[in-house]
């Protein structure tokens, strides 16, 4: 096994905690990247990894990403991430979740969890039986918290409007052509808002019928999933998978703006330079898609209701504008500017 602190993804993490509970079959890792701004917040991923090293790398990489995301969202939260190493059958039991809750609790509030891949709000309820350091629980209407998708979509919509303003000089999405990759929770919500503004939409989804249905409903066009990245449009909004901006795909883009909700859109750090070199205005993903984390963070902190969540999400365009202004002033890719700003905020700049 590789010593974690020699891995490229180790970034002076404050803690890397391993938990085993033989009785329930739990094996889990909690990575605490930074608590500079507050408790390290980030979801739990329930995943079958080929080996333990891969799980550690995921926890290190994702927890650092959460530090940056929470800082740029203006939240009083640090960054952390947990992974539960699932077996090949992805067996998950109440006993395992109870043991995981005890593991979280043993950190005394330094780490706060929520849903990530493979975890549901029902799982959060199960974890909440043994720790209070959990968010993403079902909530009453009008409260902060609950399904983060619609709030993320709202923040992405505001970010797209800010990008349209900066790159095209337009005050609304009326008549602006937006190509959306993935019309699930985030992309679908974005499409509905943009359609209501009179935008021209081209939609695509790996589930072609899903894209066709929404396109019919909204009076939009749809194309096969393989074609969306080369549609000529004003904005490309990636709202499906990560790593879609590669050397090849960036060279083929026919848009002046990329602004969407998908996590980790840049396949490699060099792709930040490639997007910048093409003169494309890029909205760093973790800045524009912070609506969901703002929602669950306020739920955990008990700070306010839906109106407060919305007020904080409305500040996303301001942060994007700060990033774009610094990017233009210093001729540095927006993604790198965002990382630098985040590092300054967590005291590592």
213 as an active site residue: the answer is: no
Is residue 187 marked as binding?
A: yes
Is residue 182 marked as binding?
A: yes
The structure tokens listed for 191 are 């499409």
Query: Minimum distance from CB of 268 to ligand NAD (Å)?
Result: 17
Query: Minimum distance from CB of 136 to ligand NAD (Å)?
Result: 10
Burial 73-89 (b: 16+ CB within 10 A, else e): bbbebbbbbbbbbbeee
Q: Which is nearer to ligand NAD, 262 or 287 (CB)?
A: 262
For ligand NAD, the binding residues (CB under 6 A) are: 148-149, 152, 181-187, 204-207, 210, 225, 239-242, 261-263, 289, 292
Is residue 183 marked as binding?
A: yes
Q: Which is nearer to ligand NAD, 87 or 216 (CB)?
A: 216
Catalytically annotated residue among 81, 92, 165, 213 = 81
Dihedral sign for Cα 152, 153, 154, 155, please. Answer: positive
Q: Which is nearer to ligand NAD, 176 or 211 (CB)?
A: 211
Query: Coil, strand, or helix at residue 143?
Result: strand
Query: Minimum distance from CB of 339 to ligand NAD (Å)?
Result: 17
Residues in the chain: 349
Query: Minimum distance from CB of 117 to ligand NAD (Å)?
Result: 8
Are residues 334 and 323 in contact, defined by beta-carbon separation less than 8 angstroms? yes
Angle at 346 between CA 73 and CA 338, to 5 degrees: 55
Is residue 221 marked as binding?
A: no
Is residue 186 marked as binding?
A: yes
Q: Which is nearer to ligand NAD, 162 or 203 (CB)?
A: 203
Binding site for NAD(+): which residues? 182-187
Q: Cite the active site residues.
A: 81
């Amino acid at each position: 096994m590789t010593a974690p602190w020699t891995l490229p993804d180790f970034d002076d993490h404050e803690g890397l905690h391993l938990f085993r509970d033989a009785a329930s079959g739990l094996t889990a890792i909690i990575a605490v990247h930074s608590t500079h701004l507050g408790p390290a917040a980030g979801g739990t991923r329930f995943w079958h990894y080929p080996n333990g090293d891969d799980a550690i790398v995921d926890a290190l990489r994702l927890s650092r990403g959460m530090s940056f995301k929470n800082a740029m969202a203006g939240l009083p939260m640090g960054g952390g991430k947990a992974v539960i190493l699932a077996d090949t059958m992805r067996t998950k039991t109440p006993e395992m979740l109870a043991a995981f809750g005890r593991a979280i609790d043993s950190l005394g509030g330094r780490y706060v969890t929520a849903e990530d891949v493979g975890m549901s709000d029902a799982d959060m309820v199960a974890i909440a039986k043994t720790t209070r350091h959990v968010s993403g629980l079902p909530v009453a209407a009008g409260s902060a918290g609950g399904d983060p998708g619609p709030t993320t979509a709202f923040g992405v919509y505001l970010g797209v409007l800010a990008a349209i303003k900066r790159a095209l000089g337009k005050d609304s999405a009326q008549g602006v052509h937006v190509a959306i990759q993935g019309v699930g929770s985030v992309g679908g919500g974005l499409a509905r808002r943009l359609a209501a503004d009179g935008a021209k939409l081209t939609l695509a989804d790996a589930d072609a019928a899903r894209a066709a249905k929404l396109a019919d409903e909204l009076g939009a066009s749809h194309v096969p999933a393989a074609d969306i990245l080369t549609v000529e449009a004003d904005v490309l909004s990636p709202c499906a998978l990560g790593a879609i901006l590669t050397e090849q795909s960036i060279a083929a883009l026919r848009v002046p703006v990329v602004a969407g909700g998908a996590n980790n859109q840049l396949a490699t750090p060099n792709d930040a330079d490639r997007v910048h070199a093409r003169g494309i205005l890029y909205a760093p993903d973790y800045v524009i898609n912070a609506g969901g984390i703002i929602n669950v963070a306020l739920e955990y902190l008990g700070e306010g209701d839906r109106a407060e969540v919305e007020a904080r999400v409305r500040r996303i365009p301001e942060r994007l504008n700060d990033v774009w202004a610094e990017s233009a002033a210093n001729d540095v890719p927006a993604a790198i500017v965002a990382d630098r700003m985040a590092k300054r905020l967590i005291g590592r700049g």
